Structures are given as structure tokens and as C-alpha cells.
Amino acid sequence: MSEASYRYLILGGGMVAGYAAKEFVAQGGKPGDLGIVSADSDLPYERPPLSKSYLAGKDDDASVLIEKAAFYREHAIDVRLNTPIERVELKGKLLKGRAGDSFRFETLVIATGARVRTLECPGATLDGVLYLRSLNDSRAIRKHLDSGKRAVIIGSGFIGMEVASQCAQKGLQTTLVFPEDRVGKRVFSPEISAFFQKYYQDRGVRLMDGKKVASIEGKERVEAVTLDSAERVPADMVIAGIGVVPETSLFENSGLKIDNGIVVNQYLETNTEGVLAAGDVANYMDVLFGKQRRVEHWDNATKQGQYAAGRLLGQREAFRNVPYFFSDVFDLSYEYWGDSTGADRVVHRGDMKSSSFSAWWMRDGRVVAAFVMNRPDDERNAAQKWIEEKAHVRWEGLADANRGVNEAEQAR
């Protein structure tokens, strides 16, 4: 058993930790001041490739690392891998590892991320029931893709749609099962959902909407999925993308305010002095939309990791960022900015039957969210700018794809 002390300590070895370490070095952080304690077996790595290029076999383990091991050695950043923490004493500024090691800190950044929601049905523990969250998860799915023939994907969110596209491109008989009446319902407009549904079906993916898994059949490994409609879908693998849960269990009795994650203010500060939280686990005050929100995506983890490094080094400006998502499926790439909650109008621009269109959600004459796929750069640029600046936009001008998108903005 040993005890280590740090001026700044990050708990969690995901993207927040990786980008915080990079920014800490870039801003002149002192060598030896920063430590990272991680339950993971790998150094901080990029998550987007896990359901895209890494899953397709185009990236390897080394290429997805945010920084190689030499970076941490050269800058005297102590990274403890395979080190799960079992007890926290935030007022005493102490973490206790499961193996008996202790870690003291002056300032702590909680970046424990999230864990996958798991299926709760008969057969859910059979070999071949898989989830995608970590690099180890992606490794396991890759092996199954190389040997499998029939895949059932549960869930039509980002992960489900990305994994389904990879399975289909690998030549597997692919079925996408989801309880909603259309794909991507949480984010897409009905018109966008219709486009993607046809796109997937044209590429051999069977869509089963309005269905839930009743059970998974098999003696030792997956053989079929039975739905609540009594339909039976043969399969040799099931990949569930049914959401994640913020990893807060370690802090339930710590005094931290917890509500759909660890609640922090616009400076990522918790209600305990000297303790910050960032990334998927943080329910932060979004100053642009004036509401608490928790975001589960690469951009948020990256930006909050960088922001946290600045906070450790004495900077204090509110975290300000337009929520941003991106995805790659088959040969398509698209981006989404903002929050469509409460929108009173959706404007589509371009040809919805092609793979080049955009959608704009508006509330009281202002754009609050935008989806952009294969469109001119002025649309990409306008999306983030308009949302951040709360610009007034004429919807009629926005809908006219024959005119430049910026012509729709009204004088303020």
C-alpha cells in the first residue's frame, strides 16, 4: 500500500482527462502537479472511433490514444491505470483505492463518465450480448463482426445507428430494433428520420420500429432475439445501444449534489469546495440556454477537459459552448448543434431525398438547433453562430435554398 499526493488530481481516465492533460501542458502547468487515477486499462483515448473507424478495423489501439505514454512521462503527469477507487473523503481531500492505495489532492476533477444501460430480460447474460462504451468493448465487437453472420442492434440513437452501419458494411445480416416509431426520434425531424430509414433499408438493414426485446434465446451463446410482438429474429450477436447512466455511485454519500449526474455551476464547480466535475458525469449550467444539462458526446468532453485545465491554472470564465454532435454512418457524415426543446418551427433546406440537406429548429424567430449534412460551409458556420448569438432569422429566407443562408439573418 502506498500514498501519493497531487496538487491537481483527475479521477477518471477518459477523454476529459486526456484533453485536460494536453491543455494543462499547453498552458504551462508545472510538471509533477497533475495526476490521473483511472480504472481503465488503457491511456486516455478518443471515443468516436470506437463505433466508426476502429470498429471498421481502420484504426488500431495506438492511433486512438489522445497522447502516447511518452507524453505523460515527459511532462511528469502521473497516470495510474487499473486503479478503481472504492471510497472518497472529499472534505479530507482523499481517495482510497480498492487495492489499498491512497491519493491525496488539493483540487479534484471528477471525470468518471458514464456506464452503459444494460438489457434486463431473459438471456441478457448470454455470450454474444455486447455493449459499446470502452475500447475493450469495441475490441470485443470487432472480433464478433469478423466471425458473425447475423446481428441484432437494439436502439436507434447515435451508437445504434453507427454500429448497424458497420455491421451492414461488414456483410452481416443486420436488424435494427427500437421502441420508437422512427429512427433517431430524440434528435431528428420526421423528414430526416424518413431519409435515414430509406437509406438503411436500401443498404440491407432490416428496421423493426415500435418493438422491444422480450428475451434472448440460446444455450450458452446468442441464437435469436424474441420481441414483445412475439416475432423471432435469428442472431449470433446482439449489440445494445440503449443509453448510458452517469457514473455517480462512488459519490452517493459524499455530500455532492447529484441529479442526473453531478450538479455543477457554469464554472464546473460542485457544491464542495475544491471539487470540479466535467464530461459525461457533469450536469452543468448551460449559460447559452439558461438551463442545466448533461451532454454525452466527444465535443463536450473535449471542451470541458480543456476548460477544467484552465480552471486548475487560475482562469475563471463561465464555460460557454453550443452543444454539438456529429456522426458517420455508411458514407454519410452529419453534424448537429443546439437544443431543439421547445422549438415552434422546423425549416428544411435542400433536397430531402438527396444526401445534402439541413434542418433548422426555431423558437420565437431564433434558431435553437440545426442539422447539417453535406451542405456549404456557410450553413455550418451560421448554425453555431446563430445559436450562440441568438440571432433573429427569417424562416422564409432560410427555407429558400437558392439564396445564401446568411441572407435570412435579420438586422438586430
- Phi, psi (5° rounding) for residue 102? -120, 145
Length of the chain: 412
- Reading the chain (412 residues) residue by residue, the pLDDT tens digits are 789 999 999 999 999 999 999 999 999 999 999 999 999 999 999 999 999 999 999 999 999 999 999 999 999 999 999 999 999 999 999 999 998 999 999 999 999 999 999 999 999 999 999 999 999 999 999 999 999 999 999 999 999 999 999 999 999 999 999 999 999 999 999 999 999 999 999 999 999 999 999 999 999 999 999 999 999 999 999 999 999 999 999 999 999 999 999 999 999 999 999 999 999 999 999 999 999 999 999 999 999 999 999 999 999 999 999 999 999 999 999 999 999 999 999 999 999 999 999 999 999 999 999 999 999 999 999 999 999 999 999 999 898 888 888 887 874 4
Quick one: how many helices (H) and strands (E) in the chain?
Answer: 8, 25
SS3 384: helix
Residues 134, 304, 33, 9, CA torsion sign? negative
Q: Measured between alpha carbons, how far is 285 from 290 in angstroms, rounded to an integer?
A: 7
Spatial CA neighbour of 4 closest among 80, 76, 98 = 80
Q: How many other C-beta atoms can be found within 10 angstroms of the C-beta atom of residue 119?
A: 18
Q: How many other C-beta atoms can be found within 10 angstroms of the C-beta atom of residue 149?
A: 12
Grid cell in block for residue 177: 430494433
